[in-house]
Amino acid sequence: MTLESAPTGGPARSVEPFDVVDLIGRKRFAGQLSDPEIAWLVDAFTRGVVAPEQMSSLLMAIVIQGMERGEIRALTDAIIASGERMDFSGLGRPAIDKHSTGGVGDKTTLPLVPLLASLGVAVPQLSGRGLGHTGGTLDKLESIPGWRAELTNDEMTAMLREIGGVICAAGSGLAPADKKLYALRDVTGTVAAVPLIASSIMSKKIAEGAGGLVLDVKFGSGAFLPSVADAQELARTMVDLGTDSGLPTVALLTDMDAPLGRAVGNANEVRESVEVLAGGGPADTVALTLALAREMLDLAGLGDVDPAPALSDGRAMDAWRRMISAQGGDPDAPLPVARETEIVRADRDGEIARVDARAVGVGAWRLGAGRVRPGDPVDHAAGVEVLVRPGDRVREGDALFEVSCDNAGRLARGLEALGTAIEWGAAPERPLVAGRVTA
């Protein structure tokens, strides 16, 4: 290590190879950063050499000016290098992962993982918690009495080998630089930028060590990137990152303008997922679950397997029960039920043109289903049941939503958000899966 002279009586300190102020200035004027510069930035920020204020400036410059493909790859590689890499090649079955960019009522992970496990695929699903108007898979599952999200790598591997699926929190050793970067992005308004979203997601997925990845990239009012063009750019960026890293990656572009399914919340989304595993459930939730399953089976070399029968013959439900039990949960225990409920009714006759996903998500969040800051508690019983879909004709007085929570004081604010959720008129045709992006 090269040392520079220190003031008399003080310790010598290492000489850093780059000056962060120079790099901020270059990116501010749309210049490119080299691989060594990006690697140093991530490492120096993780070590505390680059201050949060300096990294905030650089992140904002990236939001404004963007990054080239090589820069995004270098950023992803640097985040991966900050932690451990997992390896699932010895499981005896293909390991295929799935990631959703998040939406309102998006519960497909819950039925999808046991469905694939029942068909011979290992699914190492590392999930997160909700923040703002979109829900978190771990929050949903924690409404099951006894279920725990935190597993060791050995416990995770054992579940994949014995059952074929696991849904759990990412360990602290996986891409730790991303956790620090995301915490800063969250408080500086720099979350919604394609290079930063892509590198955050793909660093964890590549480090996870699966043999293939299917991405569910959302667009519409309930998504982080409402524009279909932005969603397309994000999907292409992530597929390219997977391809460049030797991870076969496919992305579906899916509509999040209306909530997925009926249930939006935590315990109520678990109930709806169990309906799907029992061969029922809302048509859109089933359709997207099966579409993602077919993509995952194809990456696993099982493209001739039809996943639909496993939802009706009990195989997927059996895998679900084993997964929940292995993580300390009781699959037969009653789920939380809210003390306060209220029905929102139509104030006119007419056709439903749109059910705004963001308004419904904000309503559920205000009821207590989500959190304002990381670490806030959630009300697992709180949520919204969406009782109508675009294209439905209703009469004045018909039920539109059922809202639930344990805190009566939250009802008014949740109902206020739902007051803007319904648009009236002719419903446009909107396919659930709008596109597919491959290498």
Sign of torsion over alpha carbons 166, 170, 172, 173: positive
Closest CA to 274 of 88, 87, 114: 114
Q: Are residues 121 and 256 in the same domain?
A: yes
Tokens of 198: 């892509």
Phi, psi (5° rounding) for residue 392? -70, 140
Q: Are residues 234 and 120 in the same domain?
A: yes
pLDDT at 5: 38
* 8 pLDDT higher than 70: no
Question: Which residues, 6 or more positions from 282, have their beta carbon under 8 angstroms from its beta carbon?
Answer: 260, 261, 262, 272
Residue 184 host element (H or E): helix 176-188
- Active-site residue, 380 included: no
The whole-angstrom separation of Cα 122 and Cα 323 is 12
End-of-domain residue from the set 65, 82, 112 = 65
Q: Are residues 217 and 325 in the same domain?
A: yes
Q: In the block, which residue shows the tokens 């300096």? A: 54
Q: How far is CA 400 from the centre of its chain?
A: 27
Domain membership flag for residue 202:
no
Q: Are residues 270 and 152 in the same domain?
A: yes
Question: Which residues, 6 or more positions from 120, have their beta carbon under 8 angstroms from its beta carbon?
Answer: 93, 94, 164, 300, 302
Q: SS3 of 261, please?
A: coil
Percent of the chain beyond pLDDT 70? 97
Q: State how far the alpha carbon of 425 is from the alpha carbons of 57, 356, 385, 396, in Å.
A: 45, 14, 22, 15
Closest CA to 143 of 288, 263, 284: 263
Could you tell me the CATH number of the domain that includes residue 321?
Answer: 3.40.1030.10
End-of-domain residue from the set 18, 48, 65 = 65
* 192 pLDDT higher than 90: no
Q: Are residues 290 and 217 in the same domain?
A: yes
Q: Are residues 403 and 256 in the same domain?
A: no
Residue 408: give the domain boundaries: 340-424
Domain membership flag for residue 17:
yes
Domain membership flag for residue 178:
no
Q: Are residues 280 and 242 in the same domain?
A: yes
Q: Are residues 349 and 287 in the same domain?
A: no
Q: Are residues 247 and 124 in the same domain?
A: yes
Among 73, 93, 99, 218, the active-site one is: 99
Question: Which residues, 6 or more positions from 190, have their beta carbon under 8 angstroms from its beta carbon?
Answer: 56, 59, 60, 62, 63, 184, 196
Closest CA to 91 of 35, 152, 162: 162
Domain membership flag for residue 89:
no
pLDDT at 254: 98
Q: Are residues 358 and 311 in the same domain?
A: no
Tokens of 436: 């597919």
Domain membership flag for residue 183:
no
- Active-site residue, 99 included: yes
pLDDT at 131: 67
Number of domains in the chain: 3
End-of-domain residue from the set 301, 333, 365 = 333
Could you tell me the CATH number of the domain that includes residue 8?
Answer: 1.20.970
Phi, psi (5° rounding) for residue 373? -125, 150
Which tens digit of pLDDT belongs to each residue from 109-143? 999 999 999 999 999 999 988 766 777 899 999 99
- Neighbouring C-beta atoms of residue 121, cutoff 10 Å: 28
Could you tell me the CATH number of the domain that includes residue 399?
Answer: 3.90.1170.30
The whole-angstrom separation of Cα 87 and Cα 108 is 25
Phi, psi (5° rounding) for residue 122? -90, 130
Q: Are residues 253 and 127 in the same domain?
A: yes
pLDDT at 13: 60
Residue 342 host element (H or E): strand 340-345
Among 180, 204, 262, 315, the active-site one is: 204
- Active-site residue, 204 included: yes
Angle at 371 between CA 367 and CA 374, to 5 degrees: 170
Q: Are residues 219 and 325 in the same domain?
A: yes
Q: SS3 of 251, please?
A: strand
- The pTM of this model reads 0.92
Judging by beta carbons within 10 Å of its beta carbon (0-12, 13-18, 19+), is residue 325 exposed, middle or buried?
middle
Which tens digit of pLDDT belongs to each residue from 255-272? 999 999 999 999 999 999
Among 82, 200, 273, 404, the active-site one is: 200
Domain membership flag for residue 346:
yes
Domain membership flag for residue 362:
yes
Domain membership flag for residue 192:
no
Among 178, 284, 356, 379, the active-site one is: 178
Intra-chain end-to-end CA distance of the chain, in Å: 41
339-375 per-residue burial string, b: 16 or more CB within 10 A, e: under 16: ebeeebebeeeeebebbbbbbbbbbbbbbbbbbeeee
- Active-site residue, 185 included: yes
Residue 168 host element (H or E): strand 165-169
Which tens digit of pLDDT belongs to each residue from 348-395? 999 999 999 999 999 999 999 988 777 788 999 999 999 999 999 999
Which tens digit of pLDDT belongs to each residue from 130-178? 766 777 899 999 999 999 999 999 999 999 999 999 999 988 889 999 9
